[in-house]
Amino acid sequence: MSENDTTLLDVRDLKMHFPVGRAWRAKNKSYIYAVDGVNFKIKRGETLGLVGESGCGKSTTVRAVAQLYKPTGGEVMFKGQDLTKLKPAEMLKTRMNMQMVFQDPYASLNPRMTAGEIIGEPMEIYRKRHMLDKSKEECEERVEMLMERVGLSRFFKNRYPHEFSGGQRQRIGIARALALRPELMLCDEPVSALDVSIQSQILNLFKDLQQEFGLTYLFIAHDLAVIQYISDRVAVMYLGVIVETSKAKDLYKKPLHPYTQALLSAAPIPDPKIEAKRQRIILTGDVPSPDKQRPGCYFYDRCWKHMDKCLKCRPQLTEIEDGHEVACFLYDKG
Amino acid sequence: MANEEVILQVKNLQTYFMVDEGIVKAVDGVSFDLHKGETLGIVGESGSGKSVTNLSIINLIPNPPGKIVGGEVLFRGKDLLKMPQDEIRQIRGNKISMIFQDPMTSLNPYLKVSTQMVETIMLHQKLDKKAAKEKAIEMLMLAGIPAPEKRIDQYPHQFSGGMRQRVMIAMGLSCNPEILIADEPTSALDVTIQAQILELMSDLTKRLGTAVILITHSLGVVAGTCDTICVMYAGRIVERGRTADIFENPRHPYTQGLIRSVPRIDKENAYRLYSIQGQPPNVIDLPDCCPFYPRCDRAMDICKKKYPVSVKAENGSAVSCWLYAEEH
């Protein structure tokens, strides 16, 4: 076990670089630096929200944690084991404990399998390899129990995904992830494809399940309001690095990093009175392409508070207040 | 609104799709007025008929399977639905133009931006090629594209998502339309880019005096940009009114539920979010009752029998709900 028993997942300096271009045998390959040195810890029973714009590396981080990609560098410590060094057979065993819920409930369910088969598949995989001590009947029973638990009638067991609505499909995806009683759930934008009225149902389901089964979530979303609602702590990503982490409450009351401030001020609030009074920080330009490593701060081009220093060296994540870390020279006291 | 001149009147619009399973009443009796320079928001969930309403306005419903079976769309007094093809083509893209959700699928990837913009401008404005290109560059500049004289000769894939949407806005406004229909223009974009694009749109349309119909599923977006709102559910407008009134005093249970179920960044959220129970209805062969009653926590007997009449209030808002109807 790790030195701290309450830490379930400890990601240290995680890097994920994808080679691009045709010259695959050439010495000087070019890379997309999708994730470039990410550090975070998740405690047991906690929800860490990962927020950022498209292309900032949120999904890649989660996939690298789940070892769906082989990370270029860094460590992923899960219950004291470094996942990057595990052999495939060991990884298979560990994976029982970490399951994923995906964004698109249309693409992540096999259209040729029934709902019951989809939810039962994880158990089937482990049962066949004699890693799960359950009979076929017990698995069937668990599938029905799970369906009821996530709010689907057990009579839908033999229906195919196309017969369900988006929200119902996401419930199937959640039931599948729960099948093996994991401790950690990796949720990659599980509510962004859903309508408002369905989104709140699914968010409530996530909260209820967490309480009931003591789950730990790594939860990705690009909607700040969703992240605030679901998370205990939030990490803000920009161009492959985490620029700020804090308790969810503190982040929204007192964002420190200029990017976080801009992100929060750009998020629309469903109240015309507040909207009319708001002063927006409108960022200029787009997110730059992560195709080169820069010496300075990655946010330099779009930051309205940048200094000369920002161009030369890269700020590191430092703790400013209790549990509130930021990577920005504005708060550098030294 | 300062200006009370009505430029577009939609009256009892009905668009049905004939499919194997039956008749999909995608839009079933939608009526609203659009004033000059007004920004009207149409909110609703997927499948509620927002997009079909707007495609019907410009008569772009694929037929078959779709058909506009009833109603009128009066643009400056003329019914667009009864107009011959060549006449409506003079209006479409010229007087009424559109922006769609995904800028990559609405731009032709094989053609340079200049070709696509110049084509539209020449067709509608009777300008020669050179003047049309100048106009296009001017519009791109207005839309905030740096170095437009260079960028105009690039292909769509060379632009980022936000930039492409700027090109679409420039193109949409290049013929000084009276109405701009924006169908989820920012749903595919990130929040910081969304803020840029919404600001640009409201800024430009205000300057040019264009009326906007903004379709979106995001309550936050309508709260910040629209003067009036129509809330759609299962092919009908269930509530309509000024933005401030709707948010302050939503009357339809669906609108109330929708506003309450959105998590907020400016407030502490309760442990559990409010949520509307159940699923949106299947719009195939809907019975003639209130489509919301299975999900409504204030449903009455009458709701299962008849579709509620629209009740107007003093402030000009209207709601279709039996709770507010005087006589049953």
**Three-state secondary structure of chain B:** CCCCCEEEEEEEEEEEEEECCEEEEEEEEEEEEEECCCEEEEECCCCCCHHHHHHHHCCCCCCCCEEEEEEEEEECCEEHHHCCHHHHHHHECCCEEEECCCHHHHCCCCCCHHHHHHHHHHHHHCCCHHHHHHHHHHHHHHCCCCCHHHHCCCCHHHCCHHHHHHHHHHHHHCCCCCEEEEECCCCCCCHHHHHHHHHHHHHHHHHHCCEEEEEECCHHHHHHHCCEEEEEECCEEEEEEEHHHHHHCCCCHHHHHHHHHCCCCCCCCCCCCCCCCCCCCCCECCCCCCCCHHHCCCCCHHHHCCCCCEEECCCCCEEECHHHCCCC
Does the distance separating the beta carbons of A270 and B264 come in below 8 Å? Answer: yes
Q: Say what the pLDDT of residue A97 is.
A: 92
- Predicted confidence at residue B126, as pLDDT, reads 83
Whole-number average pLDDT of chain A: 89
Cα torsion at B74, B76, B78, B83 (round to 10°)? -90
The count of CB pairs under 8 A between chains A and B is 132
What's residue A3's pLDDT?
44
Average pLDDT of every residue of chain B: 87
Dist CA B166 CA A176 (whole Å):
41
Work out the percent of chain A whose per-residue pLDDT is above 70: 96
pLDDT, position A214: 92
List the structure tokens of A241.
Answer: 């690095």
pLDDT for the residue B212: 93
Mean pLDDT of B198-203: 88
Chain A: give the shortest CA distance to residue B101, in Å. 15
Indicate the pLDDT class of residue A230, thresholds 50, 70 and 90.
very high
Residue B227 sits at φ, ψ, to 5 deg, of: -85, -45
**pLDDT at B107 > cutoff 80:** yes
Instruction: Inform me whether the pLDDT recorded for A1 exceeds 60.
Output: no
Give the Cβ contact number of residue A288 at 10 Å: 16
For residue B64, what pLDDT band results from cuts at 50, 70 and 90? confident
pLDDT digit string (tens) for A29-45? 788 889 999 999 999 99
Residues of A in contact with B199 (CB under 8 A): 280, 282
Q: What percent of chain A is modeled with pLDDT above 90? A: 54
**In terms of Cα–Cα distance, which of B291, B252, B264, B259 is closest to B275?**
B259
- pLDDT tens-digit series, residues A130-139: 888 889 999 9
Which of A229, A263, A280 is nearest residue B273 as measured by Cβ atoms? A229
Residue B1: what pLDDT?
44
* Binary contact (B196, A283; C-beta < 8 A): yes
CA-nearest residue to A251 within chain B is: B265
Kindly tell me if the per-residue pLDDT of A284 is higher than 50.
Answer: yes
Per-residue exposure over B159-193, b if at least 16 CB sit within 10 Å of its own CB, e if not: bbbbbbbbbbbbbbbbbebbbbbbbbbbebbbbbb
Q: For residue B275, give Cα distances in angstroms to A206, B45, B303.
A: 13, 14, 21
Report CA-CA distances (Å) from A205 to A34, A47, A142, A328, B138: 31, 14, 18, 36, 51
Inter-chain residue contact A272 with B247, CB threshold 8 Å? yes
Query: Inter-chain contact A207–B280, Cβ cutoff 8 Å?
Result: no
What is the pLDDT, as a whole number, of residue B163?
85
For β-strands B318-320 and B310-312, DSSP reports them as antiparallel
CA distance A211 to A289: 40
pLDDT over 50 (residue A2): no
pLDDT at residue A23, as a whole number: 59
- Minimum CA–CA partner of B233 in chain A: A197
- Cβ–Cβ below 8 Å for A198 and B279: yes
The arithmetic mean of pLDDT across residues B286-315, rounded, is: 86
- State mean pLDDT over B114-140: 90
Closest listed residue to residue B69, CA positions, set B128, B25, B16, B110: B16
Predicted local distance difference test score (pLDDT) of residue A268:
87
Provide the chain A residues 36-55 that lie in CB contact (below 8 A) with chain B: 53-54
Range 263-282 of A in CB contact (< 8 A) with B = 263-275, 278, 280, 282
Identify the band that residue A334 occupies on the pLDDT scale cut at 50, 70 and 90.
low
Q: By C-alpha distance, which of A17, A243, A229 is closest to B275? A: A229
Least confident interval from A1-5, A88-92, A224-228, B245-249: A1-5
pLDDT-derived band at A27 (thresholds 50, 70, 90) equals: low
Prediction pTM value? 0.87
CB contact under 8 Å between A286 and B162, yes or no, is yes
What pLDDT score was predicted for residue A321? 85
Closest C-alpha to A233, from A215, A245, A217, A224: A245
B266 neighbourhood in chain A, CB within 8 Å: 269, 271, 274
Predicted local confidence at residue A5, as pLDDT: 61
Question: Of A77-86, B49-58, B158-167, which gets the smallest average pLDDT?
Answer: B158-167
Structure token digits, residue B155: 């292909």
Question: B20 vs chain A: nearest CA distance in angstroms?
Answer: 16
Is the per-residue pLDDT at A161 higher than 60?
A: yes
Q: A166-203: per-residue pLDDT in tens?
A: 889 999 999 999 999 999 999 998 988 888 888 999 99
Residue of B200, B264, B268, B292 to mutate for A, most A C-beta atoms under 10 A: B264
Of A199, A226, A263, the CB nearest to B192: A263
Rounded Cα distance, A82 and A77, in Å: 4
Instruction: Report the pLDDT value the prediction gives residue A282, as an integer from 0 to 100.
Output: 81
Contacts of B257 in chain A (CB under 8 A): 197
Interchain pair B261, A199: CB under 8 A: yes
- A273/B265 Cβ within 8 A: no
Per-residue pLDDT tens over the stretch A144-153: 999 999 999 8
pLDDT tens digits for range B159-177: 888 888 889 888 888 888 9
Which of B247, B262, B277 is the mutation pick for testing A, counting most A CBs within 10 A?
B262
Residues in chain B, overall count:
328
**Does A201 reach chain B within 8 Å, measured CB to CB?**
yes
